[in-house]
Each structure stands twice: as C-alpha cells, then as structure tokens.
Structure 1
C-alpha cells in the first residue's frame, strides 16, 4: 500500500527529528542539528533492508517515491527558515561546521563512486516507450 511507504517516511522523520534535537542539545545549540538528513539516511537503510527481506512491495515503494520527489522543496523551505546571518555572526562554529561538511563530502566522492561497479547499459526504447516519452 502507498500508505505504508508514507508511514515509513513519517516514522523515519520523527526519529530523525528526535536525533537532531538530541544532537543540538549535546552540542549546546537551541536547534535541530541534521534531523532531516538523519531521517533520509534512515529511510534509505530501512527501505534497503525491507527490500532485502522481500517485504517492500511496489505499492509501498510508490509512497516513498512520492515523498522523495518532494524532498528538495521541503529541505529548501526548512533552510529558508533558519537564521543564517545570526549563525555566522554568532561565532566561527557555523563556518567551521560548513567547511568540515564540505571537506567530508568531497573526500567521500571517490569512495561512493567505487560502490557497485559497472552495470549493463539500458536497452534501447521500444516504439511504444518512445511514444509515451
């Protein structure tokens, strides 16, 4: 059911938000630190685990796909609500955290690129598929 996919996303978002709030308390800021990111990582891990167990039907995947299409606008809306000017003037920690995240992301690109190996190219489209596109 599509509803199960949306429910899986909702549970991951709630747990990710809780983790983000706890991390914010741990580092001494009055904010959610990475809750949406934790939620998305959790969703990827949970869906991968469920697919491996054969308990992730196509209809459930459709519920997750629907919200994954909404992910970027949601993140942009959340980022727009944060007070970036205050974070930067509050000290160098915001800049250092951003630079550390940038460096870690850049360092992980080669490792992520090696995951999986090469795959066969997709077959050419049939006439029916060309008409639908």
Structure 2
C-alpha cells in the first residue's frame, strides 16, 4: 500500500473510534489482515499513527483549539476533527513536512467530505503553519 492509502485507513480507523470508541487494537489488527499488510514498515506506520494520535489526543485537541477562530472544537464535524488530529499530529509531533501533511489530509478530505471542508481545513492548517513559523510550538 502507498502511504496515502495507509493514511486513508488511519483516517477510517480514527473516524470509527471517534464515533463509537471501539476496541482500537482489534480494529487495527482487522485492517492489517483485511488489507493484507505484510511489510513491517506499513504495519508499523498504521499502528503507530493510530495509537499515538489517540495517546496524544488531548494535546492535539488543545493545539487545534488554539488555532480555531470563530469556531469551537465541539462544533466541528467528526470528519474535520479526525482530519485535523491527523494533520496536527504529523506536523507538530512527527515533524513531517507540512506541505506533505497538508496535501495528504486535503486529498482525504476531497474523498470523504463536502467540497468546502477542504478549504476550511486548509485555512486552519495555514494558521497552524503561521504559528509554527512564529515559534509557537518549537
């Protein structure tokens, strides 16, 4: 699988977890088996992202709240919450290049959300990058 396809599976797992707070370890193993992930790199990427995003959820939510203007976190839709957690995780914790992280999350948004969601997310992520450049998270 490509990294984008794995990110999409990560999004789906986190979306499901956000909605029903399921047994995430079981669901991760289900996806690994269903998608026939055999390479350690793919399995580790999927497993570490999902578990680390959940483990860092409070930090990620606070960082998202810091950037939101005119919105409350609670008002966001589940898709937006999950996509923001993934992108904030990649940018602020994993230190993935923000161009890559933003592009990946916007591609997933195009596939799973409304047309205006992509622009909404892009605006929030642009503000995050501006804050980072101003050393807010360093």
Q: TM-score by structure 2 length? A: 0.32
The structure whose Rg is larger is 1
Q: TM-score by structure 1 length? A: 0.33
